[in-house]
Structure 1
Amino acid sequence: MISIPAHIWDDMISHARSLDPHECCGVLAGKDGEISEQYRITNILATMSEEELATFFEKGKLSDLKNLSPEQRADIAFIMDMGDFSAAVKDIRQKEFTLPIFYHSHTSSPARPSDTDIQKAMDFEDMRDKLNFPEPLHLIISLEDKANPVLRAYRIQNSLSSEVAIQKK
């Protein structure tokens, strides 16, 4: 069971709502099943060129994204700003956190990993060892029911996801 303090839980929901209809993204970190830090990360997808998109998405998803305006792209996907992410990783290392969680929102779909989420998690696995970064969990905030957001966390390994229990404390 992963425990998330109420102020961080509520701030993630606030983050998701403030960017709706775009997806938000960020990182949580802590130790021993307790989250103690939140890092909001900028979703840069709306600012990326089509050439840059090609480095992050597989062919089918890329084709779909190219048919959308940059603003519409950020409604259905996210790319974390590497400057923001690097600053978060540096702080996580300095504080010796061992429990990272990547979070993002789904503005109109359930709180479960999409095929794209799973693919991006697998792509990160290739980089994770080079970064000397612990295996992250993946938390999704669903705003499908705007009045009642749903948060769920997953472990994604070998292209399969399994839910991990989380609680607001």
Structure 2
Amino acid sequence: MSIHQFSALDIDGEDHNLSTYAGKVLLIVNTASACGLTPQYAGLEALQKTYGNDLDVLGFPCNQFGGQEPGTEKEIATFCETRFDVTFPLFSKIEVNGPGTHPIYAYLKAETPGDDRGTDIGWNFAKFLVGRDGKPIARYSPRTAPAEIEEDIKRAIKA
């Protein structure tokens, strides 16, 4: 099994199969527009611009943490484009915990190596690094700045 077997609605409501990312490294992030960590969008976009030939950042807005993503998909897209010049793919709002957990996040949480395996997402901007083969490599805390993941991204690109 790999992340490439899943699909999700993109920010425009179109079904998007993640198999289109086969052969690329992915950084999957649950995002929010009204969070103290929202400035991480800038760091995520910097990674996308630097490694875009080999890496795609995928943003999954989520309103499960303090109601910090209350807007519509159109409002979210506009915010990301105007405030942070986001060019990486954004998806429709999802749930990352509880009975409504999106299958992508159920898979990522179950398969991620480390102490967090299977545990709930703690807050906005949790990050999952996925290899070119679609297999999760690592999970990072919401407080881990995107730049702190850069060396792991470089290793994943070379693998």
**Which TM-score band applies after superposition, normalised by the shorter structure?**
0.3 to 0.5
TM-score relative to the length of structure 2: 0.33
TM-score relative to the length of structure 1: 0.32
Higher share in strand:
1
For the pair shown, the structure with the greater C-alpha radius of gyration is 1
Higher share in helix:
1
